[in-house]
């Protein structure tokens, strides 16, 4: 993929610290370590009572969501929406899968972990390497790791042939066995946000339900995000409807949690499409931050 190696987890870390320092009431820290030992960064902006958690790039070849979220954070920190940070506190985990992202962008292209990933990928010749890689560097799909119907996710994915480490769709040995998912789970428990949004690509769709659970306000806010962005509000397809981050959040808290499928095309969406994708994502996130 062209130009993607200009973007890496190392670059993101610097950007996080700059953004948190720039924003009013900004704070930043590390909420865990990836398989390769990379820091998992969080930062927050604002001091309001309403608490949001916005996460991105849990899937490696959907890494464009990280710079999309960072651009929004920059705008929020620089006061584009005056006064809003007195009303809300927004937590960001912009790069939930740093190793996988570095694999797909080319920032990680040698060494034992890369070789292991290449060996895993060789068992799936129909999936391009590294462009088809969604998982963490160990071959676990981080959005099939959460304790919400994990056994059912396992049953479905095993029946589809995803029975071991793979570029995508492997649920792992147990819920939260991948350090990146476990860290996000623990951070979320610590924050206890009122709402979570997880940015993925692609499809221009907002998924808002887990099973038939409909948390108070979830439909109204989903409709507001859909109206702001032009994205479609849809029920999650059953085969991918378990063990995701938003599924667990909805089940655990009975509060709104969303998966946002940004942009249209084939993953990884090229960074050249950033400017085309951003306006809808910006409108959607602004709707949530301003209160829907
Ligand atoms: Zn995804």
One pLDDT digit (tens) per residue for the chain, 292 residues = 334 556 888 888 888 888 888 888 999 999 999 999 999 999 999 999 999 999 999 999 999 999 999 999 999 999 999 999 999 999 999 999 999 999 999 999 999 999 999 999 999 999 999 999 999 999 999 999 999 999 999 999 999 999 999 999 999 999 999 999 999 999 999 999 999 999 999 999 999 999 999 999 999 999 999 999 999 999 887 777 899 999 999 999 999 999 999 999 999 999 999 999 999 999 999 999 999 8
Comparing CA positions, the residue from 5, 1, 3 lying closest to residue 106 is 5
Rounded distance from Cα 104 to ligand 1 centre (Å): 14
Q: How far, in Å, from the CA of 63 to the mean position of ligand 1?
A: 9
Distance 126 CA to ligand 1 centre (A): 19
Q: How far apart are CA 192 and CA 186, in angstroms?
A: 10
**Strand, helix or coil for residue 53:** strand
For ligand 1, the distance from its centroid to the CA atom of residue 193, given in whole angstroms, is 21
Tell how far the Cα of 201 is from the centroid of ligand 1, in angstroms. Answer: 6
Which tokens sit at 220? 């109204």
CA of 54 to the centre of ligand 1 (A): 14
Closest CA to 50 of 173, 252, 191: 191
Quote the pLDDT of residue 202: 97
d(CA 224, CA 287): 7
- For domain 9-290, the CATH architecture is 3-Layer(aba) Sandwich (3.40)
Given 261, 266, 273, 276, the catalytic residue:
261
How close is the Cα of 56 to the center of ligand 1, in Å? 9
Indicate the Cα dihedral angle 247, 253, 261, 20, nearest 10°: -130
261 catalytically annotated: yes
Predicted pLDDT of residue 236: 81
pLDDT for position 6: 64
């Amino acid at each position: 993929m062209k130009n993607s190696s200009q973007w890496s987890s190392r670059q993101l870390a610097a950007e996080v610290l700059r953004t948190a320092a720039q924003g009013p009431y900004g704070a930043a820290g590390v909420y865990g370590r990836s398989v390769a030992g990379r820091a998992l960064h969080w930062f927050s902006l604002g001091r309001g009572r309403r608490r949001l958690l916005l996460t991105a790039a849990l899937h490696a070849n959907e890494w464009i969501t990280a710079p999309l979220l960072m651009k929004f954070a920059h705008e929020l920190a620089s006061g584009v929406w005056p006064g809003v940070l007195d009303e809300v506190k927004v937590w960001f985990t912009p790069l939930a899968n740093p190793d996988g992202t570095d694999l797909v962008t080319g920032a990680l292209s040698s060494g034992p972990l890369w070789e292991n990933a290449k060996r895993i990928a060789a068992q799936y010749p129909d999936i391009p390497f590294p462009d088809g890689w969604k998982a963490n560097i160990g071959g676990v799909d981080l959005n099939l790791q959460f304790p919400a119907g994990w056994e059912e996710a396992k049953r479905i994915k095993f029946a589809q042939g995803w029975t071991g480490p793979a570029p995508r769709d492997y649920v792992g040995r147990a819920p939260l066995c991948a350090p990146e998912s476990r860290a996000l789970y623990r951070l979320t428990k610590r924050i206890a946000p009122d709402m979570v949004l997880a940015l993925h690509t692609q499809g221009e769709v907002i998924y808002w339900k887990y099973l038939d659970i409909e948390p108070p306000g979830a439909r109204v806010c989903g409709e507001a995000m859909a109206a702001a962005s032009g994205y479609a509000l849809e029920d999650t397809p059953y085969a991918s409807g378990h063990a995701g981050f938003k599924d667990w959040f909805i089940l655990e808290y009975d509060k709104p949690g969303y998966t946002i499928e940004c942009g249209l095309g084939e993953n990884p969406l090229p960074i050249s499409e950033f400017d085309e994708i951003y306006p809808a994502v910006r409108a959607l996130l602004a709707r949530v931050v301003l209160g829907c």
